[in-house]
Amino acid sequence: MNRYALPAATGAVLTLILSLSAGGLPTTASAATAAAATVQTPSVQGLPYDARRGVFTFASGLDASLPAVVQVTTLGQSRGPSSDHDPKPAQGGSGVIIDAANGIIVTNHHVIENGQKFTVDLIDGRLFDATLIGADKATDIAVLKIEASGLSQVQTVDSDTLRTGDLAFAVGYPLGLDQTLTMGVISGLNRSGMGDAIEDYIQTDAAVNSGNSGGPLLDSRGRLIGINTAILSGGMGGGNDGIAFAVPTRIMMFVVDQLRASGEVKRGQVGLAVGSLTAERARELGMSIVRGAVVYDAAPGSSADQAGLRAGDVVTRIQNRPVANAGSVQATVGIARPGAALPVVYLRDGRERTANLTVEASDPAAVRIGAHAAMARGLTFRNVSDGAQIAVVEAGSAAAAAGVQAGDVVVSADGAGVADMAGLARALEGTGAVALTVLRDGERTEISLPG
């Protein structure tokens, strides 16, 4: 299957894809049937019902939110010869107004990426230039601002209140159409493990297509629960297969608040290097579960080290949330402010233990070497026979942006051979750029790691 994040005006299929340019109630058969229905499910009378038209509808709950959903167009340099030096439409998607008084719009990072200018179309036909306040690639969230009066905004609800089976509505401007609303359910929560990003997605089967990127996922009362960001497709064209993902408001608001305050997102760390608990790894550890995050190492002197965590421990819960894989841990730490306490539950030798991690301020230049792994510049690496193998790439780090992947084996840095993890750690000290040579699938690849 292919993972796509929503549509691009070029028409090409991207890992992140964008789009350019929007009577009476039924009676029961018998008293017994009615009684059973009352016990098993809420009464049909609880559904939104328009008596005047004689139809069931969610329109009354959604009407106030729809004017807050906008179309976002990103303009960049023309790809071909032109006598016009103005930026040309490059890609686009959707967005949603969360603060009408200040003209604040949330969309996806991949909608505005590499843009020189941004425009916003409202449902009433008005068009505005927008200013980019900030963007965060790790969560695929961006914030725009427009100067306008008479705006509407959505009400935001805590995504932690969601349950699988809740109704969900995706709104946006797909496939060049005008504003479009689709309905589905919450298919799953806490989805992760699909890439080098901070992932804790809401999964829905509401139809999401090219152009929906950055648009809202709403509940049945029209309240914002997430920002549509990606789809999983089995076909080559990246079309809707009923599996779509949204960034939950829990993560969105953490990012938006920081972008509005300072234009950037500052994250903490706990010094914990983890990987997903696969079936193979579970067999090696003699475990009968395949959900969790395996600790590769705890950086010396870090919060994880002080809490007593060590290589081979399996984290099953963090901050009272279940851990499905390494992405669950990265998502929780990735939106925690320095100083925050994160309770963890982990398994060691088949027994459940608890600890508390304190989030520390991140130091991108720090290099830490543990007994089993080393950490530097968002990378966790360990010894292998022919160099230092990358075990973890921190979401949103410069290393992730440069294209370093878990599994890469670094054999040289700035032309000097790398024999082990200590050698690579020394090469990554400081803040200067480093040219890495890695082995990937048996072939050498050159990667420039920025300073």
Annotation marks residue 213 as catalytic: yes
Check: CB of residue 147 under 8 Å from CB of residue 127: no
Q: Compute the residue count for the chain.
A: 451
Annotation marks residue 110 as catalytic: yes
Residues 6+ apart with CB under 8 A from 381: 373, 374, 375, 388, 389, 390, 391, 410, 421, 424, 425
| Neighbouring-strand partners of residue 389 | 382, 409
Radius of gyration, CA atoms only, the chain? 24
From the candidates 65, 110, 196, 305, which is the catalytic residue? Answer: 110
Secondary structure (DSSP) of 311-328: TT-EEEEETTEE--SHHH
Q: Where are the beta strands (DSSP E) in 6-145?
A: 49-50, 55-56, 69-76, 88-99, 104-107, 117-121, 127-136, 141-145
Check: CB of residue 222 under 8 Å from CB of residue 57: no
Secondary structure (DSSP) of 108-157: -HHHHTT-SEEEEE-TTS-EEEEEEEEEETTTTEEEEE---SS---PPB-
Check: CB of residue 314 under 8 Å from CB of residue 294: yes
From the candidates 136, 140, 219, 305, which is the catalytic residue? Answer: 140
Token pair of 125 as six digits: 């036909």
Residues 339 and 355: their CA atoms lie apart, in Å, by 16
Token pair of 301 as six digits: 């002197």
From the candidates 213, 233, 276, 397, which is the catalytic residue? Answer: 213
Annotation marks residue 276 as catalytic: no
The neighbour count for residue 363, using CB atoms within 10 Å, is: 9
The 3-state DSSP class for residue 386 equals coil
Sign of CA dihedral 113, 17, 204, 1: negative
Residues 184 and 208: their CA atoms lie apart, in Å, by 10
| Neighbouring-strand partners of residue 401 | none
Active-site residues, by number, are 110, 140, 213
